[in-house]
Amino acid sequence: MSTFKAPKGTYDLTPPDSAKYLAVREAIAAPLKNSGYGYIETPGFEDVALFSRGVGESTDIVSKEMYTLTTKGGSELALRPEGTASVLRAALEANLHKLGNLPVKLWYSGSYYRYERPQKGRYRHFSQVGAEAIGAEDPALDAELIILADQAYRSLGLRNFRILLNSLGDKECRPVYRDALQEFLRELDLDDDTRRRIELNPLRVLDDKRPEVQKQLVGAPVLRDYLCDACKAYHEEVRDLLTAEGVVYEDDEKLVRGLDYYTRTTFEFVHDGLGSQSAVGGGGRYDGLSEMIGGPALPSVGWALGVDRTVLALEAEGIELELPASTSVFAVPLGEEARRVLFAKVTELRRLGVATDFAFGGRGLKGAMKSANRSGARFTVVAGERDLAEGVVQLKDMESGEQQPVALDALVAEIQQKLA
């Protein structure tokens, strides 16, 4: 242990557990790569204003949870709390939307930062894999994204998740609803904080978990009754497409999401084994975001899945991913001469693409065999002076436990044949 610890609300990924996180990232990315999404990477920090304008000044994410800093040069930056605003900013900056191929479909994977109260499943540094489809208004695109997330989770073996689906309306119908909701909420018996929220972000009040608030919300106007015909038709089409593909979802008219840029389709993937931090992923349409950050009108839709929570969901369901052992061959030299000879064989095997490791540090046979076991290697190669004098090495099959001498010259070919 050193003097230092990982900062509060963060944790390190170390072997062997880290392999699980890599596998989860790959499993989420695979359906996207298979569906025309190209990889994008953006900086870990951006201008604060990108998020305050994009995600919304009134959201918890911007008003309470952003890590902000002023550089020596005087720039106001924020560690990214989410990926959508950055990805859209980068797509606009690179003029990807002008190349004539709309929608621009992008996927990403990275670290995000929110100054939240840490608890299980809620961290200050966490990781997401996300997808954004920029520049097309088409219910099939919304359905595609939901189907791909569903496919990713299923490929990991997850079963106890649910998809919550809602429509938040658009710039025509939502303001009408917002007014009606505010009028209703202003009549209720609420604390000052919540009263402020009525004026800033009334839809979030519907999300209030406190029973004394929920009790008063009975009879509140519901957005569904205010959706304009275009939004209604769009939402029906998304639902029909999902149903036709056998993707089961639940209509959840209370689903609001914590970011201001959403319009129309919004959805969340929740897992029932995670307690209060049950959202493993979420997303939706954000038709106005591009204009909010100074770009042209580009209706878009996307999602992000939380890697940390997805790993917790796997654990909650008792799912062990089948991770192939990272090492196929482990070489154990006994003595100086053997070290030189086996090191050359290790290098040769690696150059041929065989995952190989080596007992470093000149430890004895017992300790080295322990390392060989721990590596998960299928074969161990042991060589001492006497073996080398006879021009052989000992090849041990770690599954059967059988060991046999193999001519040094034939070793590489023999291993390749056995692994094939």
Q: Residues interacting with ligand HAM, by CB under 6 A?
A: 82-84, 114, 116, 122-123, 126, 128, 130, 132, 258-259, 279-284, 286, 302-304, 306, 308-309
Pick the closer one to ligand HAM by CB: 216 or 263: 263
Pick the closer one to ligand HAM by CB: 63 or 394: 63
Whole-angstrom distance, CA of residue 327 vs CA of residue 346: 12
Whole-angstrom distance, CA of residue 53 vs CA of residue 183: 26
Pick the closer one to ligand HAM by CB: 9 or 221: 9
Pick the closer one to ligand HAM by CB: 284 or 333: 284
Shortest approach of ligand HAM to residue 47 CB, angstroms? Answer: 17
Instruction: Read off the DSSP letter of residue 64.
Output: T
Shortest approach of ligand HAM to residue 406 CB, angstroms? Answer: 50
Instruction: Read off the DSSP letter of residue 210.
Output: -
Contact 165, 236 (CB under 8 A): no
Whole-angstrom distance, CA of residue 196 vs CA of residue 248: 37
146-156 residues labelled b (16+ CB within 10 A) or e (exposed): bbbbbbbbeeb
Among 247, 246, 239, smallest CA distance to 266 is for: 239
Pick the closer one to ligand HAM by CB: 263 or 371: 263
Pick the closer one to ligand HAM by CB: 56 or 281: 281
Whole-angstrom distance, CA of residue 354 vs CA of residue 214: 60
Whole-angstrom distance, CA of residue 360 vs CA of residue 343: 10
Pick the closer one to ligand HAM by CB: 31 or 333: 31
Shortest approach of ligand HAM to residue 70 CB, angstroms? Answer: 24
Contact 88, 290 (CB under 8 A): yes
294-325 residues labelled b (16+ CB within 10 A) or e (exposed): ebeebbbbbbbbbbbbbbbbbebbeeeeeeee
Pick the closer one to ligand HAM by CB: 306 or 333: 306
Q: In the block, which residue shows the tokens 């693409």?
A: 353
Whole-angstrom distance, CA of residue 280 vs CA of residue 392: 54
Q: Which two tokens stand for residue 168?
A: 């938040």
When CB distances to ligand HAM are compared, the closest residue is 306
Instruction: Read off the DSSP letter of residue 122.
Output: B
Shortest approach of ligand HAM to residue 259 CB, angstroms? Answer: 6
Beta strands of 100-185 (E only): which ranges?
104-113, 125-134, 161-167
Shortest approach of ligand HAM to residue 25 CB, angstroms? Answer: 13
Pick the closer one to ligand HAM by CB: 123 or 379: 123
Shortest approach of ligand HAM to residue 82 CB, angstroms? Answer: 4
Shortest approach of ligand HAM to residue 398 CB, angstroms? Answer: 38
Instruction: Read off the DSSP letter of residue 55.
Output: I
Pick the closer one to ligand HAM by CB: 227 or 270: 270
Among 54, 236, 207, smallest CA distance to 142 is for: 236
Whole-angstrom distance, CA of residue 218 vs CA of residue 180: 15
| Beta-carbon contacts of residue 48 (< 8 Å; ≥ 6 apart) | 66, 68, 76, 77, 78
Shortest approach of ligand HAM to residue 288 CB, angstroms? Answer: 13
Shortest approach of ligand HAM to residue 239 CB, angstroms? Answer: 19
Shortest approach of ligand HAM to residue 258 CB, angstroms? Answer: 6
